[in-house]
Amino acid sequence: MDLNPLFHPKSMAVIGISLSNDRHPANVIYDKINLRYPVKVFPVNPKGGQLHRNQVYKDITEIPEPIDLAVIAARSTYVPAIVRGCIEKKVGGATIISGGFAEVGRQDLQAEIVSMARAAEFPFIGPNCLGIYAPDRFDTFFLPGQRLIRPESGNVAVISQSGGVLVDQMVKFKAQGIGLSIGVSIGNKALIREIDLLEYLAQDPGTRVIAFYVEGFGQGEGRTFVKAAHQCPKPVIVLKAGKSAAGSRAASSHTASLAGDYTVFSQVLAQHCIAEAKSEYELLAFCEALSCYQDTIDGRIGIITASGGHGVLAVDILSAHGLEVSPLSQSAQKDIYNRLTPSVQPIASVGNPVDLTGSAADEDFIGAAIAMSRTSEIECILLLILPYSPSLSPELGARLSQIYQTEKKPMAAYVPHEDKYRMLIEGFELNNIPVSDSVEGAALMVEALRRCQPC
Amino acid sequence: MLTDAMTTILAAAGETGWVLEPDAKRILDLAGIPIPNFILAATVDDALRAAGKIGYPVATKIVSPAILHKTEFDGVALGLKTDEALKAVFDRFKRFDQFKGVLVEEMVAGVELIVGAKIDYQFGPVVLLGIGGIGVELYGDTTVRMAPVSAQDVRSMVHQLKGRRLLEGFRGSDPVDMKSLSDLVVRFSELIMDLEARITSIDLNPVMCSSEGCIVADARIILSENT
């Protein structure tokens, strides 16, 4: 099946338009595409007539132009006939927003559209979903544009079984400055499932990271998914909901009792180098970090800080996540020392964490970052930057980013997110270095890089 | 590949829902997984002859389709050194419901591990490795991988165990033979790929591991309902 028309439509039809209710989901979708996106759109309702002076087509087959994507928002009992019409018209694919299928016991209706679509190789998303959000290109969400928080266009794809969770992640992406390549709410995932989107997005030049919110896979489907994710050259992140076993069944063997559903899920992900985000908060940090760095590390971390306390806090968090913050060799310490300014040399500690103290200037951070970038003892640098220090400049973010561009050693930074530090933060973000507003968030960004099981 | 001999054993166990220990061990043996020398004795005289052949001390276990968890029924007696002790145990075991015989087996020693399998709904056959023995569920020190696994997977599984120092030579004991452990887990993971349609789970518990190697001291195969 060719999924391209689903994600790159030039023309769309919205089926199920109301002629009297502007807040009907189909109308909301039609209006936003018509007014805001560079896509040609046609309204469809069996009654025909006019909507805001545009002709309403009685049937999709009456539209005089080819249609790439149909958005179906009609009552579920009408959907099989609509899908048949789309297939007849040779529409590229559909997003079926309507509910009223397997989720309410109408497995028969769902099976009917699936078998038609499969026979005709007609791809559709849903039913019972929000569909697709492609920043600046188009979306099929029935949420009015003025209500939505719209993230920038970027390179992270989010695939979600829940539409609500996807919309919420978009809010958080916007706040954190993470760019979205595409967001897909797959609802009942009757035809197009996680594995299909994984395979499609693995080839999509606009996507560098693929994140999934998963409630569960079908029988044996998890196996296919993790194998494909392991082969995928792009980092894959999974947030699994429903971790507590639904009613612990009495198990007849120790293994069945010890290897519960979530235990297996979690460990099998790690076995296949899939980053498991344990919470929405981790998902966000992982998306941001992996959109910048695609290579994995074993977990040897160097810390550069302007405050001893922050260094200790970061060590605690990193250790709790199984990462290593080991003292540097004498030669590496000497290299750092030699690169520090004369006033900081006598008061800094250069073990690891490297504590440059509150007297640190930009040059001290830069010197320590260059030295750490050049030792193989460290795979990733965690920068803890307290902009209150008198000698740190707003240019520090951009200057440290330059070191990454030259040395190619990944780094993540903590900078308090206050408006007056905006230039420092953007100096990192705009140069593709992930920044968090908390020490823990920055530590999670570092953890994201270690996606594979240690051995 | 399942051999005809394995298929025959599994088919015979179908009604019980699980495979009796001696039969489970025969399947493992056929798959190249190390098991201790054992003889299934139906009478006291058989048992005494078996002990003579294997050599004291011996381990003895009740074999009955009514008893899935033997230790919970006091159906295991270890380290028997004399004919008298063996006779006494045999007399006690033969009163168990659906008595099929007594397993007389050479004693094996080492660190007690569990190697297990489960057919997971989402991921199919998975293999489990952990600290075994009767406290296995108490400690819950186990790790899981999708089968089949490689030697590298087994290394990472061992690395993940809190009790891994027990295997690396703890308090003066010799480290266990990691090659033997790795071979056992890898072979077992391949076996369960072939058994996927027939089983729901397997416990090899304990697997005794020492510097001499690893050997399966007890095995329980739970069959799927359609077998």
Q: Chain B window 172-201: which residues touch A at a Cβ cutoff of 8 Å?
A: 200-201
pLDDT at A248 (0 to 100):
47
Mean pLDDT for A158-182 is: 94
Mean pLDDT for A53-71 is: 96
Helices (H), chain B: 4-13, 21-30, 44-54, 83-93, 136-139, 151-160, 178-195
pLDDT of A440 strictly over 50: yes
Give the closest residue to A68 by CA, choosing from A97, A89, A50, A52: A89
- Cα angle: B107, vertex B113, B115; to 5 degrees: 110
Chain A residue numbers with beta carbons less than 8 Å from the beta carbon of B128 are 255, 258-259
Count: domains in chain B:
2
Same domain, B126 and B171: yes
Same domain, B185 and B94: no
Same domain, B153 and B93: no
pLDDT of A108 strictly over 80: yes
**Domain containing residue B73: CATH number:** 3.30.1490.20
Same domain, B193 and B94: no
Kindly report, residue by residue over A31-42, the tens digit of the pLDDT. 999 999 999 999
Q: Chain A window 226-265: which residues touch B at a Cβ cutoff of 8 Å?
A: 226, 251-259, 261, 263-265
Helices (H), A43-193: 79-88, 107-120, 163-176
pLDDT at A323 (0 to 100):
94
The pLDDT-based confidence of A358 (bands split at 50, 70, 90) is very high
pLDDT of A246 strictly over 70: no
Same domain, B76 and B180: no
* Least-confidence region, from A260-264, A351-355, B104-108: A260-264
Among B68, B88, B106, which residue terminates a domain? B106
Q: How is residue B73 written in tokens? A: 């029924």
Please tell me the distance from the alpha carbon of residue B199 to that of residue B6, in angstroms, as a whole number: 13
Same domain, B86 and B50: yes
Q: For residue B99, what are the domain limits?
A: 38-106
Dihedral sign computed on CA atoms, order B153, B159, B165, B168 = positive
Give the closest residue to B59 by CA, choosing from B40, B45, B31: B40
Q: Look at the block and give the residue holding tokens 């320590």.
A: A368
Please tell me the distance from the alpha carbon of residue A234 to that of residue A211, in angstroms, as a whole number: 10
**Domain containing residue B164: CATH number:** 3.30.470.20
**Rounded to two decimals, what is the model's pTM?**
0.93
Same domain, B65 and B152: no
Among B78, B106, B134, which residue terminates a domain? B106
Same domain, B62 and B118: no
Kindly report, residue by residue over A285-336, the tens digit of the pLDDT. 999 999 999 999 999 999 999 999 999 999 999 999 989 999 999 999 999 9
Q: B68, A252: Cβ pair inside 8 Å?
A: yes
Kindly report, residue by residue over A361-404, the tens digit of the pLDDT. 999 999 999 999 999 999 999 999 999 999 999 999 999 999 99
Nearest to A256 among B118, B152, B160 (CB): B118
pLDDT at A274 (0 to 100):
96
- Domains of chain A, each with CATH number or no CATH: 1-128 (3.40.50.720), 149-292 (3.40.50.261), 297-448 (3.40.50.261)
pLDDT of B184 strictly over 70: yes
pLDDT of A449 strictly over 90: yes
Same domain, B82 and B176: no
Q: What is the mean pLDDT of chain A?
A: 94
Same domain, B72 and B137: no
Same domain, B45 and B89: yes
Same domain, B121 and B172: yes
Mean pLDDT for B16-27 is: 94
Please tell me the distance from the alpha carbon of residue B58 to that of residue B101, in angstroms, as a whole number: 15
Kindly report, residue by residue over B44-85, the tens digit of the pLDDT. 999 999 999 999 999 999 999 988 888 888 899 999 999 999
pLDDT at B226 (0 to 100):
64
CB atoms within 10 A of CB A202: 16
Among B106, B125, B146, which residue terminates a domain? B106
Mean pLDDT for A215-233 is: 96
Please name the residues in contact with A428: beta carbons below 8 A apart, sequence gap of 6 or more. Answer: A397, A398, A400, A401, A413, A415, A434, A435
CB atoms within 10 A of CB A376: 8
Q: Look at the block and give the residue holding tokens 């998303």.
A: A125
Determine whether A250 is exposed, middle or buried from the number of CB atoms within 10 Å of its CB (0-12, 13-18, 19+).
exposed
How do A131-134 and A138-139 pair as beta strands? Answer: antiparallel
